[in-house]
Amino acid sequence: MEPKTPSLALTLIACLLLLPLFSHARILTNSPSSTPASRVAFLQHLKGCHKGDKLNDIPKLKAYLHKFGYLDDYTNQTSPSNNHYFDGRLENALKTYQANYHLNVTGAMDSATVASMMTPRCGVADIVNGTNYMQTRRRHGTGRLHAVSHYSFFRGNPRWRASKTKLSYQILPGMPEEAVAPVARAFQTWAENTQFEFRRVGGEPGDDTVDIRVGFYSRDHGDGFPFDGVGRSVAHAFAPEDGRFHYDADESWGIKNPRAMDWETKAFDVETVALHEIGHILGLMHSSVPTAIMYPAVGDGVTKELSRDDVHGFRALYKV
């Protein structure tokens, strides 16, 4: 039986620092080392490398591609020194990654590829058990008018039962109080575009009658998909009907002022990430459309809304 895969990734620091409201954003948490590049600095060292090279940081690149589904097995137990080689399997994996993210398919670590990999993202893999969700193509429309969508679903198309259109959600202990409102807005946005209703409830953290549980966690938090500190993956969620939605607490989190036209900050927007992760909870996997909320990459200071691709994906999954 295929294990459930968590989606998008975001977190909070153990000691929460609530800072004052600025003109554009309220910063909820500030990581002590808030440079996302701290976890992926090795990628800069690999810029320009290609097949045939042998470098100390290549095992880290293989581990990155393995984490997100591009390499099934990247270690050579009989000859560990071979792990440092840029071989043909790594070149092919890199080409697949470049195709998924609309980059030039060179098979080499060019500047654009390095920049893409250094962008923080959802913790859910792009390829699971050989299925490349980023390359899913579906057509919708009537008559001669057809549009190509790039949304995708979890393997087996899991979704909530027809009788479960009213879902309860619980905010778990340790989540900043100011993060509750933007998460509620994200649930409301999905409610306005679907047949679902979402209602916040209380209760104990282990209450199995609650449909969705939202919390902030650091590192290994018991779900089999540990967070990795600052940078790389910032949040994840699980397919229906699991209901777990976790932010990475080690990231810097903030809330955009709705009246602001722009937002200059190094924090991740709580609401934008919530929109993405709730999409996973409803059954959507990643989209290859950069403007879609279900696109896996999320930059700090970036805010997004649901796109046509996201809504079309939901309607196709639930046949509404």
Q: Is 276 annotated as a binding residue?
A: yes
Q: Is 286 annotated as a binding residue?
A: yes
Q: Is the dihedral of CA 49, 52, 57, 61 positive or negative?
A: positive
Q: Is 248 annotated as a binding residue?
A: yes
Peptide bond preceding 91 in cis form (omega within 30 of 0): no
**Residue tagged 């934008």 (tokens):** 272
Closest Cα partner for 58 from 19, 85, 94? 85
Q: Active site includes 277?
A: yes
CA distance 263 to 278: 23
Q: Give the CA count within 13 Å in the CB-facing half-sphere of 290.
A: 8
What do you get for the CA distance between the two ends of the chain, in Å?
29
Q: How buried is 301 (Cβ within 10 angstroms: 0-12 exposed, 13-18 middle, 19+ buried)?
A: middle
Q: Is 204 annotated as a binding residue?
A: no
Both tokens of 25, joined, read 């954003």
Q: Is 261 annotated as a binding residue?
A: no
Helices assigned H by DSSP within 80-213: 88-100, 111-118, 180-192
Q: Is 45 annotated as a binding residue?
A: no
CA distance 272 to 276: 7
Please identify which of the residues 178, 264, 277, 305 carries the catalytic annotation: 277
Strand, coil or helix: 254: strand
Q: Is 223 annotated as a binding residue?
A: yes
Q: 196-216: buried (b, 16+ CB within 10 Å) or exposed (e) per residue?
A: bebeeeeeeeeeeebbbbbbb
Q: Is 269 annotated as a binding residue?
A: no
8 neighbors 277 (Cβ within 8 angstroms): yes
Q: Is 72 annotated as a binding residue?
A: no
Q: Is 49 annotated as a binding residue?
A: no
E runs forming strands in 179-265: 197-200, 212-217, 235-237, 244-248, 253-256
**Binding site, annotated residues for Zn(2+):** 122, 221, 223, 236, 246, 276, 280, 286, 294
Which residues participate in catalysis according to the annotation? Answer: 277
**Binding site, annotated residues for Ca(2+):** 211, 228-229, 248, 251
**Binding site, annotated residues:** 122, 211, 221, 223, 228-229, 236, 246, 248, 251, 276, 280, 286, 294
